[in-house]
Amino acid sequence: MGIIRLKNVSKFYYSKGIIASGISKVNLDLDLGEFVVITGESGSGKSTLLNVISGLDTYEEGEMYIEGQETSHYTATDFENYRQKYISCIFQSFNLVSSYTVYQNIALAMQIDGYDAAEIKKKVLDIIEKVGLSEYKNRKVSKLSGGQKQRVAIARALAKDTRILVADEPTGNLDSDSAEGIVELLTKISADKLVIVVTHNYEQFKDHATRVIKMHDGKIVEDSGASDTPLISNAVLPLGNRAARTEEQKTKKKRNSIGYGTQLRLGIRNTFNLPAKLLLLLLVFIFVTSAVSAQYVTVKKQGDTVSEQGRNNYFENYNPKRIVVEKADGSAFTRADYKALENAEHVEKLIKEDIIYDTSIYIENNEFSFYGYMMDLASLTEEPTLGGLPEKDDEVVLTGYDDGWSFGDEPKKLIGKTYKVSLNDGTEKKVKIAGIVLRDYAEDEGSDMITTTLESDIYFTDKMIEEMRRDMYASGSTTTMLINSHEVRLTPGEGGLVTNENVPEGYILLPTDYDPEFKEGYAAGKEVKLTAKNLYYEQSLDLMIMGTYGQKTFEKKTGLKNIAEHNGEVFMNPTDYRRLYEKGSFQASVFVDNTKNLEGMKDMLERGGYRALILKDHIYNFMDEDIVRIIQLPLAVVVCLAVFFIAYFVIRLILKSRGVYFATARMLGMGKSPASRIMRVELVIVAIISYALFFAFVYMSRMGIINNEKLMDYVTYLTVRDYVILAVILMVMAILISGRFMRTIFRSSAMGAFREEV
Ligand code: ADP
Ligand code: MG
């Protein structure tokens, strides 16, 4: 029984609703050693028969046996294995990879079979010599003549070294001289193989054929010299010899499948050997990279903008550019600290007296009252529109809108008058208005920063602020007096702990109520410990009790008149009082020039020994950032998907030529998974290059080599994590697209893929 047997095999073509018969009810038995020539007029089914035999096309009816094995249950993969193992093809249309060199084309056949590199090299060079192409071995196939191409195709078939060699019109496109050379070459290699040649030019082969099959209308009409005829001259091969040959084939270092290293190398070669295609692919990927990352940046930026519109319960003045700063060791700010903060890059302004910054206060008299944030004069950047800057410590500058409401109809009249400031602890101070900064209401309306902060401020001199800060620390502290191991809570301010110039430093004056604390019945000369404790520090003072005051001694000891107004007050020297409450400033605020610099500034501060709190991160939004993400994210996903689809179709167009490549590789027996991997390597490389280019641009923008606002946004908003995510998205896209592309290629039979692509 022959190596190939066909029993009543039929093949139909379905195209556009019409069924055409390719071959019908063909019976055929082919054996090794035969040189079969199939002839017949055009359209008689020669090619169809050959394609069915070589497993390039499916058949619909009958049975085909390969070495006795029935094939009707064969899958595409089975046929690929069959082709890889048994079949070498030579076509009229050559089916070579035109962007590969002669050497690479021939080597490809062996690589697909999994030979190792050294063996491939030796054999390929040998075969190139044999087909007489030595001087062209490194020339691209696209630059060869038809005869040379056909030689390459034959060389490839030789390299594959299978037992069956099929050739469809191998001389069809050649002049008679070239044709003759090809016929001789085929004859030379046909010795122990089954060679099947389709031709309509029988004359060329008649001297070499052992068997002639004539076809007509899809049927075999003549079959001369069939198997039972003894095999002729050059095809005769003793059986023993054949066995030896099979043995030899087994010992070859053959893995039977293409190695991973080879797949990688082919993928890399395919990426770079068509520069125009590479460039187009790069453009598409760069487009995708920028589109996806732009979406990404938009979403992140959106979140930032939203948080500029929120509010916060702890800090009244929730300017989004504000960072609240403390020393990491909890100490007070020094002049050097202020200087460093003020001069740091991206610092727009520094608020030294931060603790008062969140305090809104009234100044008022009978005619006018004004409400604003307490600010220090050093942070006033504008010149007063009316009046001037303070010359005395008790003078202030007001800023606000010139809307006829803040300052009344005649703001000028307010200047120089005295007003009362009411503070937290109930004390009052007197101030005069030195100047007013009138802001144009319309001017600010267009600004994109919407805040609900007060737009009016009251600027005080350093001296005033220091006093007020001391009062604030005093009222913000828990103050206790330890007297005869008994702890008494004191409240700074009227009715509690107050200052008095008549009390010397180191002493304290108490009401007579404290005398019974001691068993002697009087407190004078005894010691007490005063302790002030607040958020920032704890300070103790050891004082001696100067004495106690009663109804009669009050005026003499304090210099004050009416004891009824000072009921129970504890008096101490102002210097001691300052020791307790004037410990400097423990909290400052810096304002960055742009909210995108907040994170960088926070990092810098923390490295410099400060604690930093970005206020906008601690804000309750009326429109939550999450809500924005919920709206923005699906939108971004939709845009990205659209980009992917566009990219997919463009890439498919660009890769059209790849279809021929993979059909060729399939014809040589390459399976779907190695083919997919080769494709994947190619797209992943392109993705990596595009990503690297994108990264290079962002980096150059960061280094200031190129100046582009859009790119700067990437620099500011993308973190390492984002770059990783972006890389992953690109890789996944490359892999998905290559997968989809390979599925379309492998959907039909090998021949079908050819027909679609060529
Ligand atoms: P030959 O190689 O002898 O010229 P073919 O095997 O190519 O003949 O064609 C045999 C028959 O099948 C012809 O009638 C042809 O029209 C038909 N045929 C071949 N290929 C296709 C195809 N892809 N689609 C539809 N009909 C086809
Ligand atoms: Mg044909």
292 or 529, which is more confident? 529
**Paired sense of beta strands 386-387 and 428-439, if any:** antiparallel
Ligand nearest to the CA of 45: 1
Give residue 555's pLDDT. 92
Q: What is the pLDDT of residues 612-663, one digit of tens each?
A: 888 776 655 445 556 666 677 777 788 888 888 888 888 888 877 788 888 8
Determine which residue's CA is closest to atom 15 belonging to ligand 1. 43
pLDDT above 80: residue 701: yes
C-alpha span between 436 and 526 (Å, rounded): 53
Torsion of CA 483, 486, 487, 488, to 10 degrees: -70
R_g of the chain, CA atoms, integer Å = 47
Q: How far apart are the CA of 22 and the centre of ligand 1, in A? A: 5
Residue type at 362 in one-letter notation:
Y
Quick one: DSSP state of residue 64?
E
Distance 48 CA to ligand 1 centre (A): 6
Chain centroid to CA 696: 14
Considering every ligand atom shown, identify the ligand nearest to the alpha carbon of residue 754 and give its number: 1
Bridge pairing between strands 87-91 and 347-351: unpaired
Pocket probe mutation, ligand 1, options 16, 23, 48, max atoms within 8 Å of Cβ: 48
Atom from ligand 1 closest to the CA of residue 20:
26
**Measuring CA to CA, which residue among 704, 701, 700, 712 is closest to residue 594?**
712
Mean residue pLDDT of the chain comes to 83
Q: Ligand 1 pocket check: which of 15, 38, 47, 201 to mutate, most ligand atoms within 8 Å of Cβ?
A: 47
Q: Which pLDDT value is given to residue 309?
A: 44
Ligand 2 geometric centre to CA of 59 (Å): 17
Q: Could you report how far apart the first and last alpha carbons of the chain are, in Å?
A: 37
Structure tokens at 49: 């028969």
The yes-or-no verdict on residue 328 having pLDDT over 80 is yes
Non-local (6+) Cβ contacts of 47 within 8 A are 168, 198
Q: Which of 148-162, 227-241, 256-270, 513-527 has the lowest mean pLDDT?
A: 227-241
pLDDT-derived band of residue 558, with 50, 70 and 90 as boundaries?
very high
H/E element holding 324?
Answer: strand 322-327
Give 592-611 pLDDT, tens digit per residue: 988 888 889 999 999 999 98
Give tens-digit pLDDT for 490-512: 988 888 999 999 999 999 999 99
What does the angle CA 679 – CA 682 – CA 684 come to, to the nearest 5 degrees?
105
- Choose between 245 and 532: higher pLDDT: 532
Q: How far is the CA of 43 from the centre of ligand 1 (A)?
A: 5
The predicted structure's pLDDT at residue 652: 81
Closest ligand 1 atom, residue 48 Cα: 6
Q: Residue 449 gets which letter from DSSP?
A: -
- At 481 the pLDDT is 95
- Ligand minimally distant from the alpha carbon of residue 51: 1
Judged by its nearest atom, the ligand closest to the C-alpha of residue 755 is 1
Pairing relationship of beta strands 194-198 and 164-168 according to DSSP bridges: parallel
Q: Has residue 13 got a pLDDT over 70? A: yes
Q: Any idea what the Cα angle at residue 231 is, between residues 228 and 237, rounded to 5°? A: 125
Rounded distance from Cα 40 to ligand 2 centre (Å): 10
Region of residue 16 (phi > 0: left; psi between -120 and 50: alpha; otherwise: beta): left
Q: Rounded to an integer, what distance in angstroms lies between the CA atom of residue 171 and that of residue 363?
A: 107
Say how far apart CA 465 and CA 356 lie, in whole Å: 8
- H-assigned helices in 517-573: 554-558
The residue contributing the CA closest to ligand 1 atom 21 is 13
CA 166 – ligand 1 centroid, Å:
17
Task: Tell me, in angstroms, the distance from the centre of ligand 1 to residue 168's CA.
Answer: 13
DSSP class of 200:
S
Q: Is the pLDDT of residue 140 over 80?
A: yes
| Residue spans of alpha helices (H) in 260-353 | 260-272, 275-307, 335-343
Q: CB under 8 Å to 388, separation ≥6 — which residues?
A: 434, 435
Q: Which residue, chain included where needed, has tokens 């590479």? A: 278
| Ligand 1 atom closest to Cα of residue 18 | 25
Residue of 260 and 667 predicted with greater confidence: 260
**Nearest CA owner, ligand 1 atom 19:** 22
Burial class (CB in 10 A: 0-12, 13-18, 19+), 74: middle
Mean pLDDT for 46-60 is: 90
Q: If you measure from the C-alpha of residue 47 to the centroid of ligand 1, how many angstroms do you get, rounded to a whole number? A: 7
Confidence class of residue 705 from pLDDT cuts 50, 70 and 90?
A: confident
Give ∠ CA 279-283-287 in degrees, rounded to 5.
170
Mutate to test the pocket of ligand 1, among 44, 53, 196, 199 (most ligand atoms within 8 A of CB): 44
Among 13, 200, 758, which residue has the most ligand 1 atoms within 8 Å of its CB, making it the best to mutate? 13
d(C-alpha 69, C-alpha 378), whole Å? 97
- Residues within 6 Å of ligand 1 by CB: 13, 15, 20, 22, 40, 42-48, 755
Contact predicate 316/617, CB 8 Å:
no
180 alpha carbon – ligand 1 mean position (Å): 27
Paired sense of beta strands 219-224 and 211-216, if any: antiparallel
> Which band of pLDDT confidence, cut at 50, 70 and 90, is reported for residue 246?
very low
> What pLDDT digit, counting tens, does each position of 364-382 carry?
888 888 888 888 888 788 8
Atom of ligand 1 nearest to the CA of 200: 3
**Residue 224's pLDDT band (boundaries 50, 70, 90)?**
confident
Q: Which long-range contacts (CB under 8 A, 24 or more apart) does 173-182 make?
A: 173/92, 173/93, 173/146, 174/146, 174/147, 174/150, 175/147, 177/147, 178/145, 178/146, 178/147, 178/150, 179/147, 179/204, 180/204, 181/132, 181/147, 181/151, 182/147, 182/150, 182/151, 182/154
Residue nearest to atom 5 of ligand 1 (CA): 45
Do residues 149 and 174 lie in contact, with contact meaning Cβ atoms separated by under 8 Å? no
Residues 621 and 103: their CA atoms lie apart, in Å, by: 68
The closest residue, in CA terms, to atom 2 on ligand 1 is 47
Question: Minimum-distance ligand to the CA of 15?
Answer: 1
- How many angstroms separate the alpha carbon of residue 201 from the centre of ligand 1? 18
Sheet containing 18-30, strands listed edge to edge, beginning at the edge strand earlier in sequence: 18-30, 4-15, 61-66, 69-70
Q: Which long-range contacts (CB under 8 A, 24 or more apart) does 425-429 make?
A: 425/471, 425/472, 425/474, 425/475, 425/492, 425/493, 426/493, 426/494, 427/471, 427/493, 427/494, 429/394, 429/464, 429/467, 429/468
- Name the residue with the closest Cα to ligand 1, atom 13: 43
Give DSSP secondary structure letters for 122-177: HHHHHHHHHTT-GGGTTSBGGGS-HHHHHHHHHHHHHHHT-SEEEEESTTTTS-HH
| DSSP label at residue 525 | T
pLDDT tens for each residue of 427-469: 678 999 999 998 876 554 444 443 434 478 889 998 888 888 8
The ligand minimizing its distance to the Cα of 170 is: 2
Q: Give, in degrees to the nearest 5, the angle at Cα 34 between 30 and 37.
A: 85
Ligand 2 centroid to Cα of residue 42, in Å, is 7
Q: Which ligand is nearest to the CA of 53?
A: 1
The 3-state secondary structure of 654-677 reads HCHHHHHHHHHHHHCCCCHHHHHH
463 C-alpha to center of ligand 1: Å? 103
